[in-house]
Protein backbone atom coordinates (compact mmCIF):
# COMPACT_ATOMS: atom_id res chain seq x y z
CA UNK A 1 0.00 0.00 0.00
CA UNK A 2 1.38 3.40 -1.02
CA UNK A 3 1.72 5.91 1.81
CA UNK A 4 1.91 9.63 1.09
CA UNK A 5 3.42 12.45 3.11
CA UNK A 6 0.31 14.40 4.09
CA UNK A 7 -0.21 16.76 7.01
CA UNK A 8 -1.41 13.94 9.26
CA UNK A 9 1.89 12.15 8.61
CA UNK A 10 3.90 15.32 9.30
CA UNK A 11 2.01 15.84 12.57
CA UNK A 12 2.56 12.21 13.57
CA UNK A 13 6.29 12.40 12.87
CA UNK A 14 6.60 15.68 14.77
CA UNK A 15 4.74 14.35 17.82
CA UNK A 16 6.90 11.21 17.80
CA UNK A 17 10.10 13.27 17.51
CA UNK A 18 8.96 15.58 20.32
CA UNK A 19 8.62 12.50 22.57
CA UNK A 20 11.91 11.00 21.30
CA UNK A 21 9.97 8.09 19.83
CA UNK A 22 10.79 8.29 16.14
CA UNK A 23 11.22 4.71 14.89
CA UNK A 24 14.74 3.62 14.00
CA UNK A 25 13.39 2.38 10.68
CA UNK A 26 11.10 4.95 9.17
CA UNK A 27 8.23 3.95 6.87
CA UNK A 28 8.64 4.97 3.23
CA UNK A 29 6.56 8.02 2.33
CA UNK A 30 5.96 9.51 -1.11
CA UNK A 31 5.81 13.29 -1.45
CA UNK A 32 2.93 14.41 -3.64
CA UNK A 33 2.07 17.87 -2.28
CA UNK A 34 4.18 20.92 -1.54
CA UNK A 35 2.57 21.92 1.75
CA UNK A 36 3.52 18.89 3.87
CA UNK A 37 7.12 18.72 2.65
CA UNK A 38 7.68 22.48 3.16
CA UNK A 39 6.23 22.20 6.67
CA UNK A 40 8.45 19.19 7.33
CA UNK A 41 11.40 21.29 6.17
CA UNK A 42 10.43 24.03 8.61
CA UNK A 43 10.36 21.53 11.48
CA UNK A 44 13.69 20.12 10.26
CA UNK A 45 15.25 23.60 10.31
CA UNK A 46 14.48 23.71 14.05
CA UNK A 47 16.15 20.32 14.51
CA UNK A 48 12.99 18.35 15.28
CA UNK A 49 12.95 16.18 12.13
CA UNK A 50 15.43 15.11 9.43
CA UNK A 51 15.80 17.39 6.44
CA UNK A 52 13.63 16.19 3.55
CA UNK A 53 16.50 16.08 1.07
CA UNK A 54 18.56 13.82 3.35
CA UNK A 55 15.78 11.47 4.55
CA UNK A 56 16.21 8.23 2.59
CA UNK A 57 12.67 7.13 3.56
CA UNK A 58 11.15 10.19 1.91
CA UNK A 59 10.59 9.92 -1.84
CA UNK A 60 10.32 13.38 -3.38
CA UNK A 61 9.30 12.01 -6.80
CA UNK A 62 7.78 14.78 -8.97
CA UNK A 63 8.77 17.45 -6.45
CA UNK A 64 12.42 16.42 -6.30
CA UNK A 65 13.62 19.14 -8.68
CA UNK A 66 11.87 22.00 -6.91
CA UNK A 67 12.82 20.83 -3.43
CA UNK A 68 16.44 20.23 -4.38
CA UNK A 69 16.56 23.74 -5.83
CA UNK A 70 15.26 25.05 -2.49
CA UNK A 71 17.70 22.91 -0.48
CA UNK A 72 20.72 24.04 -2.49
CA UNK A 73 20.02 27.69 -1.71
CA UNK A 74 18.84 28.92 -5.09
CA UNK A 75 16.98 32.20 -4.99
CA UNK A 76 14.41 31.43 -7.68
CA UNK A 77 13.47 28.40 -9.73
CA UNK A 78 10.75 27.66 -12.30
CA UNK A 79 10.48 24.19 -13.80
CA UNK A 80 12.26 24.61 -17.18
CA UNK A 81 10.19 21.96 -18.98
CA UNK A 82 6.51 22.43 -18.14
CA UNK A 83 6.76 25.59 -15.95
CA UNK A 84 4.13 24.09 -13.63
CA UNK A 85 6.10 24.46 -10.39
CA UNK A 86 8.53 26.91 -8.88
CA UNK A 87 9.62 28.93 -5.89
CA UNK A 88 10.94 32.38 -5.01
CA UNK A 89 12.81 33.58 -1.95
CA UNK A 90 11.52 36.92 -0.74
CA UNK A 91 14.93 38.53 -0.81
CA UNK A 92 14.41 38.84 -4.56
CA UNK A 93 11.70 41.47 -4.78
CA UNK A 94 12.79 42.39 -8.30
CA UNK A 95 11.80 38.91 -9.47
CA UNK A 96 8.25 38.95 -8.09
CA UNK A 97 6.55 40.18 -11.29
CA UNK A 98 8.12 37.42 -13.37
CA UNK A 99 7.38 34.80 -10.72
CA UNK A 100 3.78 35.95 -10.29
CA UNK A 101 3.26 35.72 -14.05
CA UNK A 102 4.68 32.19 -14.07
CA UNK A 103 2.28 31.18 -11.26
CA UNK A 104 -0.67 32.73 -13.12
CA UNK A 105 0.22 30.94 -16.35
CA UNK A 106 0.64 27.63 -14.50
CA UNK A 107 -2.79 27.96 -12.84
CA UNK A 108 -4.42 28.84 -16.17
CA UNK A 109 -2.69 25.97 -17.95
CA UNK A 110 -3.93 23.54 -15.29
CA UNK A 111 -7.56 24.40 -16.05
CA UNK A 112 -8.48 27.52 -14.06
CA UNK A 113 -10.16 30.46 -15.76
CA UNK A 114 -7.69 33.29 -16.16
CA UNK A 115 -9.74 35.54 -13.83
CA UNK A 116 -9.60 32.92 -11.08
CA UNK A 117 -5.89 32.30 -11.72
CA UNK A 118 -5.31 36.05 -11.32
CA UNK A 119 -7.25 36.03 -8.03
CA UNK A 120 -5.12 33.19 -6.73
CA UNK A 121 -1.92 35.06 -7.62
CA UNK A 122 -3.33 38.18 -5.94
CA UNK A 123 -3.82 36.06 -2.81
CA UNK A 124 -0.21 34.87 -3.00
CA UNK A 125 0.96 38.47 -3.34
CA UNK A 126 -1.05 39.47 -0.27
CA UNK A 127 0.50 36.62 1.74
CA UNK A 128 3.91 37.78 0.53
CA UNK A 129 3.15 41.30 1.77
CA UNK A 130 2.20 39.87 5.16
CA UNK A 131 5.60 38.23 5.52
CA UNK A 132 7.27 41.58 4.89
CA UNK A 133 5.00 43.48 7.25
CA UNK A 134 4.41 41.08 10.14
CA UNK A 135 7.05 38.32 10.34
CA UNK A 136 10.03 40.35 11.53
CA UNK A 137 12.19 38.21 9.24
CA UNK A 138 11.19 38.86 5.61
CA UNK A 139 14.54 37.57 4.33
CA UNK A 140 13.50 34.09 5.52
CA UNK A 141 10.34 34.13 3.40
CA UNK A 142 9.69 31.71 0.57
CA UNK A 143 6.81 31.21 -1.90
CA UNK A 144 6.30 28.00 -3.87
CA UNK A 145 3.61 26.72 -6.23
CA UNK A 146 2.66 23.55 -8.05
CA UNK A 147 0.00 23.12 -10.74
CA UNK A 148 -1.45 19.79 -11.85
CA UNK A 149 -4.60 19.18 -13.93
CA UNK A 150 -7.45 21.24 -12.38
CA UNK A 151 -5.46 21.67 -9.17
CA UNK A 152 -3.26 24.53 -7.96
CA UNK A 153 -1.25 24.54 -4.76
CA UNK A 154 0.85 27.24 -3.16
CA UNK A 155 2.82 27.66 0.04
CA UNK A 156 4.04 30.86 1.71
CA UNK A 157 6.39 30.43 4.64
CA UNK A 158 8.79 32.33 6.86
CA UNK A 159 10.93 31.69 9.93
CA UNK A 160 10.02 34.88 11.73
CA UNK A 161 8.42 35.63 15.08
CA UNK A 162 5.20 33.73 14.40
CA UNK A 163 1.61 34.92 14.55
CA UNK A 164 1.26 35.00 18.34
CA UNK A 165 4.34 37.14 18.94
CA UNK A 166 3.40 39.41 16.03
CA UNK A 167 0.02 40.14 17.59
CA UNK A 168 1.50 40.43 21.09
CA UNK A 169 3.65 43.31 19.85
CA UNK A 170 0.41 45.33 19.89
CA UNK A 171 -0.90 46.55 23.27
CA UNK A 172 -4.38 45.27 22.38
CA UNK A 173 -3.12 41.68 22.29
CA UNK A 174 -0.32 41.60 24.87
CA UNK A 175 -2.44 39.33 27.06
CA UNK A 176 -2.63 36.58 24.45
CA UNK A 177 -0.82 33.31 25.11
CA UNK A 178 -2.53 30.91 22.69
CA UNK A 179 -1.27 30.38 19.12
CA UNK A 180 -4.61 28.89 18.08
CA UNK A 181 -6.48 32.01 19.15
CA UNK A 182 -3.82 34.10 17.40
CA UNK A 183 -4.36 32.21 14.14
CA UNK A 184 -8.11 32.85 14.32
CA UNK A 185 -7.52 36.54 14.95
CA UNK A 186 -5.00 36.73 12.11
CA UNK A 187 -7.74 35.65 9.70
CA UNK A 188 -10.24 38.17 11.05
CA UNK A 189 -10.66 41.30 8.94
CA UNK A 190 -9.10 44.40 10.45
CA UNK A 191 -6.98 42.60 13.05
CA UNK A 192 -3.20 42.95 13.01
CA UNK A 193 -0.29 43.90 15.24
CA UNK A 194 -1.20 47.50 14.44
CA UNK A 195 -4.37 47.05 16.50
CA UNK A 196 -8.04 46.71 15.65
CA UNK A 197 -10.13 49.26 13.74
CA UNK A 198 -7.15 51.17 12.34
CA UNK A 199 -7.75 50.17 8.74
CA UNK A 200 -5.00 47.57 8.78
CA UNK A 201 -5.08 43.79 8.84
CA UNK A 202 -3.39 40.70 7.53
CA UNK A 203 -5.48 40.95 4.38
CA UNK A 204 -6.70 37.40 3.96
CA UNK A 205 -9.86 38.45 2.11
CA UNK A 206 -8.13 38.03 -1.30
CA UNK A 207 -7.37 34.44 -0.36
CA UNK A 208 -11.00 33.64 0.39
CA UNK A 209 -12.15 35.54 -2.72
CA UNK A 210 -9.72 33.49 -4.81
CA UNK A 211 -11.21 30.28 -3.41
CA UNK A 212 -14.84 31.30 -3.95
CA UNK A 213 -16.74 28.67 -5.98
CA UNK A 214 -13.76 26.30 -5.73
CA UNK A 215 -13.04 23.38 -3.49
CA UNK A 216 -10.15 24.45 -1.33
CA UNK A 217 -8.04 23.38 1.59
CA UNK A 218 -6.13 25.87 3.73
CA UNK A 219 -3.70 25.19 6.57
CA UNK A 220 -2.14 27.90 8.70
CA UNK A 221 0.65 26.65 10.98
CA UNK A 222 2.40 28.78 13.57
CA UNK A 223 3.68 28.19 17.08
CA UNK A 224 2.07 25.13 18.64
CA UNK A 225 -1.18 25.17 16.65
CA UNK A 226 -2.58 24.62 13.17
CA UNK A 227 -5.79 26.09 11.79
CA UNK A 228 -7.42 24.20 8.93
CA UNK A 229 -10.25 25.26 6.63
CA UNK A 230 -11.52 23.07 3.81
CA UNK A 231 -14.52 22.37 1.62
CA UNK A 232 -16.36 24.34 -1.04
CA UNK A 233 -16.18 28.13 -0.57
CA UNK A 234 -13.91 27.83 2.51
CA UNK A 235 -14.38 30.50 5.16
CA UNK A 236 -13.28 31.24 8.72
CA UNK A 237 -16.64 29.96 9.99
CA UNK A 238 -15.58 26.38 9.18
CA UNK A 239 -12.10 26.62 10.72
CA UNK A 240 -10.73 23.83 12.91
CA UNK A 241 -7.89 24.52 15.33
CA UNK A 242 -5.66 21.86 16.90
CA UNK A 243 -2.50 21.82 18.99
CA UNK A 244 0.70 20.62 17.33
CA UNK A 245 4.42 20.44 18.13
CA UNK A 246 6.06 23.87 18.10
CA UNK A 247 7.01 25.39 14.75
CA UNK A 248 8.90 28.66 14.26
CA UNK A 249 7.41 31.31 12.01
CA UNK A 250 4.39 30.70 9.82
CA UNK A 251 3.51 28.24 7.06
CA UNK A 252 0.44 28.92 4.89
CA UNK A 253 -0.54 26.04 2.60
CA UNK A 254 -3.39 26.29 0.09
CA UNK A 255 -4.78 23.75 -2.36
CA UNK A 256 -7.47 24.79 -4.86
CA UNK A 257 -9.40 22.32 -7.00
CA UNK A 258 -11.47 23.21 -10.05
CA UNK A 259 -13.61 20.09 -10.43
CATH number of the domain residue 111 falls in: 3.30.565.10
b/e per residue, 100-130, with b = 16+ CB within 10 A?
A: bebbbbbbbebbbeeebbbbbbbbbbbbbeb
Question: For position 221, what pLDDT does the model report?
Answer: 97
- Cα separations (Å) of 70 from 136, 195, 210? 21, 35, 26
Q: Structurally, how many domains does the chain consist of?
A: 1
- Cα separations (Å) of 229 from 97, 215, 246? 29, 11, 20
Question: For position 198, what pLDDT does the model report?
Answer: 46
Three state DSSP letters for the chain: CCCECCHHHHHHHHHHHHCCCCCCCCCCEECCCHHHHHHHHHHHHCCCCCCHHHCCCEECHHHHHHHHHHHCCCCEEECCCCCCEEEEECCCHHHHHHHHHHHHHHHHHCCCCHHHHHHHHHHHHHHHHHHHHHCCCHHHCEEEEEEECCEEEEEEEECCCHHHHHHHCCHHHCCCCCHHHHHHHHCCCCCCCCCCCCCCCCCCHHHHHHCCCCEEEEEEEEEEEEEEEEEECCCHHHCEEEEEEEEEEEEEEEEEECC
Strand partners for 106? none
98 inside domain: yes
Bridge pairing between strands 151-158 and 215-232: unpaired
Predicted confidence (pLDDT) per residue in 108-122, tens digit: 999 999 998 998 998
The range of the structural domain enclosing residue 115 comes to 75-257
27 inside domain: no
Terminal CA-to-CA distance of the chain, rounded, Å? 26
Question: For position 202, what pLDDT does the model report?
Answer: 47
32 inside domain: no
User: pLDDT-derived band of residue 90, with 50, 70 and 90 as boundaries?
Assistant: confident
174 inside domain: yes
**Cβ 77 vs Cβ 86: under 8 Å:** yes
Predicted confidence (pLDDT) per residue in 152-210, tens digit: 999 999 999 999 998 888 888 888 999 999 998 888 866 655 555 544 444 576 677 76
For the residues 64-71, what does the mean pLDDT come to?
88
**Cβ 17 vs Cβ 48: under 8 Å:** yes
For the residues 61-86, what does the mean pLDDT come to?
90
- Cα–Cα dist 197/214, whole Å: 30
Predicted confidence (pLDDT) per residue in 12-48, tens digit: 999 999 999 998 888 899 999 999 999 999 999 989 9
164 inside domain: yes
- Cα separations (Å) of 49 from 32, 37, 53, 87, 145? 19, 11, 12, 22, 23
125 inside domain: yes
What average pLDDT does the chain have? 87
153 inside domain: yes
User: pLDDT-derived band of residue 211, with 50, 70 and 90 as boundaries?
Assistant: confident
136 inside domain: yes
Amino acid sequence: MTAFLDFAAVDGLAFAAERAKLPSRMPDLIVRDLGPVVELGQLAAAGLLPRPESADWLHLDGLRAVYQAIATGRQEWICPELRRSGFLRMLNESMWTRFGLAALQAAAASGFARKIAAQLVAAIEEMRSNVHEHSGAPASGLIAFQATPRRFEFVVTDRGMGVLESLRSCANYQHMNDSGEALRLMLTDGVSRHGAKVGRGHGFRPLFIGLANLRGSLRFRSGDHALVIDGSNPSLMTARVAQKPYLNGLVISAVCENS
